[in-house]
Amino acid sequence: MLHGDTTDKVIHAFFRVYRSLGPGCAGTAYESAMTAEMEKSGLKVEPKKGIRLHRASGTPAEVSADFFVDDKVIVELRAAQAVSEDHETRLIDRLRNTDVEVGMLLNFGQRPEFRRKLFQNPLKHKQNAA
């Protein structure tokens, strides 16, 4: 599994935070707790990291990921009733339009949910390097 060591640590941190805080907290509480837990796990954590998008139009754009972990995984947090198709589509779009290949969606809803997404394309790095 690509970057499985990193994503496993993120998932463990997610469940530790969920057991501690439960559902219904403010997003900032989850962000702060996730930062601390991931760093305790030895991960390099960059909160609110700006990531450059590569669009076909050539127009430069940048989006902010909730976390960029170990320079290789985008992590997005939600506190919704459930993970929606829109949440997943947004993450996949970020993976499709950046050099990052692995993304995670963590939802602090009534039930803890996570999604691990992979977008690999051997041409991706060649196209974005041009």
pTM of the entire predicted model? 0.88
Is pLDDT above 70 for 76?
A: yes
Share of the chain above pLDDT 70, in %: 92
Domain that holds residue 119: 4-129
Tokens of 76: 């997005």
Higher pLDDT, 47 or 120: 47
Can you tell me the mean pLDDT for 59-85? 91
How many separate domains does the chain show?
1
CB atoms within 10 A of CB 24: 10
The pLDDT of residue 126:
53
Residue 33: phi and psi, rounded to 5, are: -65, -40
Tell me what the pLDDT averaged over the chain comes to.
90
pLDDT confidence band for 124 (50 / 70 / 90): low
Which CATH number covers residue 124?
Answer: 3.40.1350
User: Which run of H or of E encompasses 46?
Assistant: strand 45-53
The pLDDT of residue 97:
85
